[in-house]
Chains A and B, each alone.
Chain A
Amino acid sequence: MDMEPLLRAINLSKSFGTLTAIQGVSLEVYPAEVVGIAGQSGSGKSALCMLLAGLDAPNEGDIYFDGQRLQYPFRARTLGIEVIHQEPDLAERLDISSNIFLGSEIGWSLVVKWLKVPNRRRMDKEAAGILEQLNVHFSSLREKVGNLSSEQRQMIAIARTMTHPSRLVIVDDPTLLLSYRYQQKLLSLIQTWQQEGTAVIFSSNNLDHLLAVTDRIIVLRQGRRVAEYRTDETGREEIVAALVGTTDRQQLTPIIWALDSYYRARKQAEELRHQRTLLERDLAAQDTLNQQLIDQLGKQVNALDSANVALQDAQRRLLTEREQERKHLAREIHDQVIQDLLSINYQLEEIEVDEHVTSALKGKLTDIRESIRGLIDDLRHICGNLRPPTIDSLGLGAALQSYTHEWSKRTGIGVTLDLDANRGRLPETIELSIFRIVQEGLSNVRKHARASAVQVCLQHTSPRALMISIADDGRGLPDDFDLSALSAEGHYGLLGISERVALLGGRLKLQNQANGGLLIQAEIPHPRVAQPAGGL
């Protein structure tokens, strides 16, 4: 970018006593850019945000905002820097609207700004408007914020940044206190800010959130800036590798395979480590028994981890290879067998038109050619199942449309297909997996559901996640349904879906609907796609 950066931090360092929180971090933020900051807890994310927001002075280094050195921290807000913290910083004894307008009260000024008399009615009105935008509702805006829940308080802290237009919003992982709904609200708010030309620094522990809204991601490890990625050109694997500081694939696979369990594992490891440091501090005399116990635990966890990794790795290879095999097989059948059959058919036709052939033989030849044509059709159908031909050329949408149409004709079950218009092309593996999921889902409906209609739906739940739902009006899952028991009974349909979803790092939900039918929902994250030029 040729533009001047809005914020430029040069070589920032900050330590608290002997603890170094930030060491030599430099970064630039351009107008209307969303910069993510990733890091494990304790990596200095919050300390960096405090410095950038002017709430703390660095031991070393300078911060320039809009070309001017940020010397007086309290001026940050007047310059247009807003900050949302992990824990909401509110004046407990003031009510909701006073908190939202704290420092930027509306009112009648008497000579100097300090002597302003607040206009409570107008402040209440504007606060109500902002809270409406955020979808937060209070019975009275005169409620003291000390009496509210932490989620409500966090939303008030968010509302506070919206009282006047800002140039840079520093969002320091406030999602911990927020429910899913408000987390999504915050993400869309960040996108709105970006569209309005406001720059955003978004520090988060949640890679999904970072990947969804940022343009760049800066990774901190132990107070140092270790990597920077353009969000469009990176993925979980790379970021997690930078976060953890290892590129060993064996360690990384489970992380990519299922991020949820990764976070859980990390948290446990974190707790273990925390407890170990606590123990170490307490037992200065080195209680060896405890130490051994912890080591053993750690080893066991490691052993479990690597066993798991090997399994998942094998599974992943298996599925990929199966897909390759299918592709290969389809090509073989299409290029070899079908071509051969066609040429045999052609030769038979040659014989048929020969004048020496009797009419009885002609009839037989026609029969043989009929059955060869039938065979070719069958083979083409098999090919199509092995490797949908349209998916490579026309994309997922077209492939799904043609497949469901054909399936519906074949089975007599009505299919309605509802595709997100803003869909664009996804990477080949993802498109293929989605196709397979739908394919397996439909075949499950045909085999077990006794349904008369199916609804297949592809919708974006966030800019970088696609929700596939397959809903039928059949008899649904039995009460004692157990996904893991299916393979023992030789049913691989739903199991296959769950494996594919897990491979893509997505989430799968199976549930019976109110009308009894089964609803399969698979949410699959994917890299950001360019908006399609139009249509399918």
Chain B
Amino acid sequence: MLTGDKSDLFKPVRGLWRMLVSRHELFVFVLLLAVGTALSLGTDTFLTVNNLSNISRAFSWIAIAAFGESMVMIIGGVELSVGAVMALAGLVSALCMQAELPVLPAILAGLMTGGLVGWINGTLVGHVKLPPFIITLATMSITRGAIFGLTGGWPVRNLPQGFRALGQHDLTLGTVSVPQPVLFMLGLAVLASLLLEKTVLGNYIYTLASSERAQLVSGVNVAQIKVLVYTLCGLLTATGGLLMTARLGVAAPTAAVGYELDIIAAAVVGGTSLFGGEGSILGVLLGAAIMQMLRNGLVLLGFPAYWQTAAIGTMILAFILLDHWRRQSR
């Protein structure tokens, strides 16, 4: 047959570039273990069930939003309104529930809001062909402004128990109890991975940044893919925002301020290329985990809080340099 055994060996890892990505994931995983081990040895408080469950809960919504962000980055775009969308989705749901709407429709309203912002971004980028950086910067402002306008600056409290349970309950599996947001994150990770790795759409998403013309010639509706990816990003971000709001039990207008950078950082640290075409859900998951672990570790080690942001920024810079270096050495 034309397909030799050799290519079957790498069946799950399609070709060289995916191999490199998987190597990056391995790298991040090893780093994660190393930092974890160091923190376990250096502090008494790190390796406790409580702390680990806190860390994983805290990065779960960042990771979910980063799944969407990484898809946008893989098609060569960028989405800056993610933080604002997280807050807006939570706020819309909270307002709906305050208006005595049942929990499920309120959640749907929150998701739709996120999807709508994504759709608007996607349409402007895909059909009108405007640069994503400027567009999403504008929608970020608009969204954040809308949040303040809707709340008048006051947080929305007294959310129903049924909603808060989504973010606050743990699910006991045998002896371990896992926070529900983490389960959501794992479920969405599997779905997003399947979408990217197994479907035709995944194929288009991975090749769009480098071969837009080939897709046009082949009759693939490139603009529609962009709209779809941005909308998907909006929906995932809204999911993250809802879980965050449920966990905190309050929809604050200043929630998730600056999260867009954390989300982009999680994607970049996880191996998503800023130039598009590369990245994976597993990597993003590990990226979000290592970021949160570092943050947590710095607190536990008594590192001055004001310097934490600088430390995180240094790490992002290191990973961008790594991405750059890998591109050049190819």
Contacts and interface: CB of A to CB of B under 8 A. Distances in A.
Nearest to A76: B219
B239 to A, nearest CB: 19
Interface in A44-79: 53, 55, 73-78
Nearest to A118: B200
B152 interface: no
Given A107-B200, A117-B199, A138-B2, A93 B207 contact: yes
B248 interface: no
Interface stretch (B57-65, B163-171, B208-216): B208-216
Given A74-B222, A83-B217, A103-B215, A91 B7 contact: no
A94 B205 CA distance: 12
Contacts of B138: none
B4 interface: yes
A142 B207 contact: no
Interface size class of chain A, counting residues whose CB lies under 8 Å from the partner chain: 35 or more
Interface in B1-53: 2-4, 7, 15-17
A140 B5 CA distance: 11
Per DSSP, chain A at the interface is: mixed
Interface string B58-97: 0000000000000000000000000000000000000000
B3 A142 contact: yes
Contacts of A91: 207, 210-211, 214-215
Interface string A85-109: 1000111111100110011110100
A144 B210 CA distance: 14
Interface size class of chain B, counting residues whose CB lies under 8 Å from the partner chain: 20 to 34
A141 B210 CA distance: 21
B223 to A, nearest CB: 7
B7 A102 contact: no
Contact of B195 (A83, A115, A140, A141): A115
A299 interface: no
Given A138-B2, A140-B4, A93 B206 contact: yes
Nearest to B211: A91
B211 A90 contact: yes
A124 interface: yes
Contacts of B16: 144
A116 B201 CA distance: 8
A114 B211 contact: no
Interface in A110-152: 110, 113-118, 124, 128, 138-142, 144
A103 B210 contact: no
Given A90-B214, A92-B210, A138-B2, A116 B223 contact: no
Interface string B177-219: 0000000000000000001001111010011001101111111
Contacts of B118: none
Contacts of A77: 217-219
A529 B228 CA distance: 55
Contacts of B277: 93
B16 to A, nearest CB: 8
Contact of A104 (B195, B213, B219): B219
A526 interface: no
A103 B195 CA distance: 17
A124 B3 contact: yes
A160 interface: yes
Contacts, number: 96
Contacts of B228: 114
B148 to A, nearest CB: 37
Contacts of B201: 114-116
B221 interface: yes
A74 B7 contact: no
A74 B220 contact: yes
A98 B14 CA distance: 12
Contact of A89 (B2, B4, B15, B217): B217
A74 B223 contact: yes
B199 A102 contact: no
A98 B203 contact: yes
B76 to A, nearest CB: 13
Nearest to A112: B201
A160 B4 CA distance: 23
A116 B198 CA distance: 8
B7 A140 contact: yes
A118 B217 contact: no
B208 to A, nearest CB: 9
B172 to A, nearest CB: 33
Contacts of B3: 124, 140-142
Contacts of A99: 214
Nearest to A80: B219
B200 A116 contact: yes
A140 B195 CA distance: 26
Contact of A141 (B2, B198, B220, B224): B2
B154 to A, nearest CB: 42
A142 B195 CA distance: 21
B218 A160 contact: yes
Contact of A102 (B2, B17, B206, B215): B215
A73 B213 CA distance: 13
Nearest to B198: A117
Q: Which of B206, B221, B228 has the most CB of A within 10 A?
A: B221
Given A95-B15, A102-B215, 9 more contacts: A76-B219, A77-B218, A93-B15, A93-B206, A103-B219, A105-B200, A110-B199, A116-B201, A160-B218
24 contacts: A55-B216, A55-B217, A74-B219, A74-B221, A76-B219, A77-B219, A78-B219, A89-B213, A89-B214, A89-B216, A90-B211, A93-B15, A93-B210, A93-B277, A98-B203, A102-B218, A104-B218, A114-B199, A115-B201, A116-B199, A117-B198, A139-B2, A140-B4, A141-B3
Interface of A: 53, 55, 73-78, 83, 85, 89-95, 98-99, 102-105, 107, 110, 113-118, 124, 128, 138-142, 144, 160
Closest 8 CB pairs of A and B: A77-B219, A103-B218, A91-B211, A114-B201, A102-B218, A91-B207, A116-B200, A142-B7
